[in-house]
A and B are shown apart, each in its own frame.
Chain A
Amino acid sequence: MKTYKGRVISPGTVKAEALVSHGGLNTLASFQKALQFGDKNATCGDQNNPDLYGKQMVGKALCLPQTIGSTTGGLVLYCACAMKRQPACMLFSKPIDSLAAAGAVLADVWVDDVTMPVIDSLGDEFLQEVKDGQMITVAEDGTVTVE
């Protein structure tokens, strides 16, 4: 068991299985197909992301360095939350980027019945160590425990 301390962008507590992307998450490419065609599992559609392509994102503790791609990124994340197709939490190894921050804040302020904790600055070691399928617990203060 190992713990990492990050910074809270959107508060909340959760326990979920890890899904790890070592490269940046292209938010539009990853979620578009799932949101457009009614895939409740939010299967990742980004062919350029070998870590995530074809995997279910809903309910997972999504571990990533940052998000990349189109400036629609924030609103796509907001849509995923509003449509209940969001990951259980988003755990960033690096300081959050402006698109992911926008999505996290929009979801937290404007979607009433969804909580998606977002923690950033967990460090490079976090992303190097964490593996798909490991159980992750997020505490209110931004402490992330990997079992």
Chain B
Amino acid sequence: MILNQEQQAILDGAKGETLAKVMKTMVRYGEAFGAEKMVPVTSEYNHLVTSFGLKMMTPVFELMQKLIDAGAISGQKFSVDPRPLDKKVPANFLQNLIFNKFMYSTQGSYEEQLKKLGLKSEDSFTCTCYMKEEGNLPKKGDILSWAESSAVVYANSVLDARCNRNSGIIDIMGSVVGYVPYFGLLTDEGRKATWIVEVKTTKKPEAQLLGSAIGMKVMEEVPFIKGLDQWIGTELNDSACSYLKDFGAATASNGAVGLYHIENLTPEAVEQGERLIAEGAQVYVIDDAELERVYKEYPVIWKNKDATPKLCFMGCPHMSLEQLKEWTDKVEGALKEAGNKKVVIPTVFTAAPAVLEAFEKTPYAARLKATGVITSYICPLMYMNNPLCAKMPVITSSNKLRTYTTSRYYTDDEILAQITKGGK
């Protein structure tokens, strides 16, 4: 890799031993992918994946402390993934004990570290930092040092920013030195589609199911998706963006997609059309039967497959304001139809703190509360990632949550029926 004078000086220790090691890390990371240069991080804010004071991550907190002690702190502030705990979310005595005294006992001290490292605000804890209410919205062409797979794929695909699927720690180190290695999704060549996906369904495909199917097929490659614009339109409005948020999260978690192009909709596809498709791209046709096949193949890893669900999580990734409103209408309507006043399964809708604040200012908030649905800023994934919660029969329409935990996936309509009417 060829470094400029400033980068070489940092690597040689001109700004201290710690920053030299940070630069060495970024250079070695880039060399693993044949990067020939480093490019400046240009976004206003960064986004980190590590939001949780999980005791097992003590080496990470020690490393963060080394950065703080050495003054190796970025001028770029950051948002970070959601907090792992919220008292509003149902938990029994034993779960609370394990959460607070054992698993997340370092949450407080870690949040203090995050503040010293440049946390954007006290409430900048969300995986959907790109919501306008939260305000970490990169501009077209911005170079990012983000982690969090669902945020990276959204920034690349919907916002036309440029970011690789970075790991935690690499996210903050790129920001601290101000440079990231130039490879993969930062390059024009790396953004070319090597798969053409033809959507030939007879109705609007479920975002989380379509994303899952594509993710599992193309893995880390870039798909160019045809035929979806007929279902979600050709304008990046709130509805389309909410759809793409969930779709992208599923592609990124069920596979390892960091960028997708939707014909006639996402910025690069609108500008460049089929010129984005690489020579020799493979083709994947998705019809109703293919989505059904994918859905049926999800393993159910509950001990008792017929167990009555004890909890429902919606919002992995965090819901948008538009989705909170839409689901308020849906839940109210379905409850009325079923002759029930409140949801029959404890249900949590999760969203960014700033989105929840905006939601509270609308008349929808009181209406949703009346249905018994709880709103929270929690990370459902972090809530579920322990042996006690793993044994609980939890349902969700999030394919990301399904992939990483023991929760069981249902489509949006099935979830609505379950929480308002009960039954299987």
Q: A29-B404, A70-B404, A72-B49 are in contact. Are A98 and B164 (CB under 8 A)?
A: yes
B166 with A98: CB separation less than 8 A: yes
Q: Provided the pairs A29-B404, A36-B56, A110-B21 are in contact, do residues A70 and B149 lie with their beta carbons within 8 angstroms?
A: yes
Cβ-based interface call for A14 (8 A): no
Min CB distance, B104 to chain A, in Å? Answer: 11
Write out the residue numbers on chain A whose beta carbons fall within 8 Å of the beta carbon of B341: none
A residues 102-131 in Cβ contact with B at 8 Å: 102-106, 108-111, 120
Which stretch of B26-34, B225-233, B344-352, B359-367 is in the interface? B26-34
Q: Is the CB of B103 within 8 A of A36?
A: yes
Question: When the two chains form their complex, are residues B54 and A36 in contact, meaning their CB atoms are under 8 A apart?
Answer: yes
Binds A, one of B70-78, B167-175, B235-243, B325-333: B167-175
Distance, CA A79 to CA B59, complexed state (A): 6
Asked if A15 lies at the interface with its beta carbon under 8 angstroms from chain B, I say no
Q: Give the number of residue pairs across the A-B interface with Cβ within 8 Å.
A: 107
Q: A72 to B57: give the CA distance in the assembly, Å.
A: 11
Interface check A139, CB cutoff 8 A? no
Q: Does B1 contact A (CB under 8 A)?
A: no
B50 at the interface (CB under 8 A from A): yes
Given A33-B387, A47-B301, A102-B170, also A71-B59 (CB < 8 A): no
Query: Whole-angstrom distance between the alpha carbons of A35 and B385 in the complex?
Result: 13
Residues 154-179 of chain B, each 1 if its beta carbon lies under 8 Å from chain A, else 0: 00000000001111111100000000
Interface string of B28-50 (1 = CB under 8 A from A): 11001100000000000000011
Q: Is B60 an interface residue (CB 8 A)?
A: yes
Say if the beta carbon of B358 comes within 8 Å of chain A. no
Give chain B nearest CB distance to A92 CB in angstroms. 11
Question: Are A73's CB and B256's CB within 8 A?
Answer: no
In the complex, chain A residues whose CB is within 8 Å of the CB of B108: none
**Cβ of A109 and Cβ of B28 under 8 Å apart?**
yes
Which residues on the A side are within 8 Å of B147 (C-beta)?
Answer: 71-72
Identify 9 residue pairs between A and B in the complex whose beta-carbon atoms are under 8 Å apart, listed by A's number: A36-B54, A36-B386, A68-B256, A69-B253, A70-B404, A75-B50, A75-B169, A97-B256, A108-B28
Chain A contact residues, CB within 8 Å of chain B = 9, 26, 28-29, 32-33, 35-36, 47-48, 68-75, 78-79, 82-83, 96-99, 101-106, 108-111, 120
Chain B interface residues (CB < 8 Å from chain A): 21, 24-25, 28-29, 32-33, 49-50, 54-60, 62-63, 103, 147-149, 152, 164-171, 184, 220, 253, 256, 299, 301, 385-387, 403-404, 406
Given contacts A78-B59, A82-B59, 9 further A-B contacts (CB under 8 A): A35-B57, A70-B253, A75-B168, A99-B167, A102-B167, A102-B170, A106-B169, A108-B28, A111-B59
